[in-house]
């Protein structure tokens, strides 16, 4: 799998790069040290997974992830940070994180998480999202985490419209609709379309 590292501490970046390049199924294809660099990575890198710190000097991993979504719409994010606060975790989830690990995690746990995320799994559980939301983050905060297009897709899902029909209505490809649905599910911490709609209704994100 192709991996990009976004980390502003050189020693950490180099150590992580050596660890991942030492895996037979992983290749580090690019690195960035800031939000600006992350948003300027060439499209042809085509990473499967981005391993990212939450704090990036003048910006955050949340900002970098949103910038990278425009370049790599299908990429998945694993956050690796010393910040274990609920605010940081929720911001990462809102940006589309599929996993959030502390930098004290064992190397084997980091590698395992990357492989699982690359394989389509999300290690962000509904219980985790519910706990974070319950600690002072209301539905407006969650609503703001969805892009305008994601809110359109979510409303159509709630209206019972199938994914291919959503693509036709919005004038976008079926694969793009699937990408939006996956991003919405990860932000809400859900595992299926039905669960996504139920959660969205509970949070009053749809009519």
DSSP state of 167: H
Residue 115 and residue 20 in one domain:
yes
Residues 166 and 105 in one domain: no
Distance, first Cα to last Cα, the chain = 40
44 with 135, same domain: the answer is no
How many domains does the chain divide into? 2
Listed residue (145, 13, 119, 123) closest to 78, CA to CA: 123
Domain assignment present for 115: yes
Nearest CA to 79 among 107, 116, 51?
Answer: 51
Report the SS3 class of residue 204: coil
Q: What is the CATH number of the domain that holds 180?
A: 1.10.10.10
Domain edge (last residue) among 85, 102, 124: 124
Domain that holds residue 94: 2-124
**Tens-of-pLDDT digits for all 207 residues of the chain?**
999 999 999 999 999 999 999 999 999 999 999 999 999 999 999 999 999 999 998 899 999 999 998 899 899 999 999 998 877 888 898 888 999 999 999 999 999 999 999 999 989 877 777 777 665 455 666 777 888 999 999 999 999 999 999 999 999 999 999 999 999 988 888 888 888 998 888 777 888
Q: In CATH, what number is assigned to the domain containing residue 33?
A: 3.40.50.2300
Q: State how far Cα 54 lies from the chain centre.
A: 12
Which of residues 85, 101, 124 is at a domain's end? Answer: 124
Tell me the C-alpha distance between 167 and 133, whole Å: 30
One domain, residues 87 and 140: no
Residues 60 and 22 in one domain: yes
Same-domain status, 158 and 108? no
Q: Which of 16, 190, 110 lies closest to 203, judged by CA?
A: 190
* Cut 0.75: pTM above it: no
Planar angle of CA 35, 19, 22, nearest 5 degrees: 125
Q: Is 60 exposed, middle or buried (0-12, 13-18, 19+ CB in 10 A)?
A: buried
Statement to judge: residues 60 and 88 lie in one domain: yes
Distance CA 37, CA 8 (A): 10
Of the residues 124, 145, 164, which one is the last residue of a structural domain? Answer: 124
Residue 78 three-state SS: strand
Give the position of tokens 């799998």.
1
């Amino acid at each position: 799998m192709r991996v990009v590292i976004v980390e502003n501490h050189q020693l950490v970046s180099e150590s992580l790069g050596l660890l991942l390049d030492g895996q037979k199924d992983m290749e580090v294809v690019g690195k960035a040290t800031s939000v600006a660099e992350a948003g300027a990575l060439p499209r042809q890198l085509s990473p499967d997974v981005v391993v990212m710190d939450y704090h990036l000097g003048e910006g955050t991993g949340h900002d970098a992830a949103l910038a990278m979504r425009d370049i790599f719409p299908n990429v998945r994010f694993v956050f690796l940070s010393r910040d274990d606060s609920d605010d940081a975790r929720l911001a990462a989830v809102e940006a589309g994180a599929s996993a959030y690990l502390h930098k004290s995690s064992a190397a084997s746990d980091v590698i395992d998480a990357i492989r699982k995320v690359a394989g389509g799994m999300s290690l962000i559980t509904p219980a985790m999202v519910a706990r974070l939301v319950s600690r002072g983050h209301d539905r407006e905060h969650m609503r703001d985490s969805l892009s305008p297009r994601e809110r359109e897709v979510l409303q159509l899902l709630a209206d019972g419209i199938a994914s291919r029909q959503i693509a036709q209505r919005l004038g976008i490809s079926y694969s793009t609709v699937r990408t939006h649905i996956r991003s919405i599910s990860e932000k809400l911490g859900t595992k299926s379309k039905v669960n996504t709609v139920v959660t969205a209704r509970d949070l009053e994100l749809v009519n």
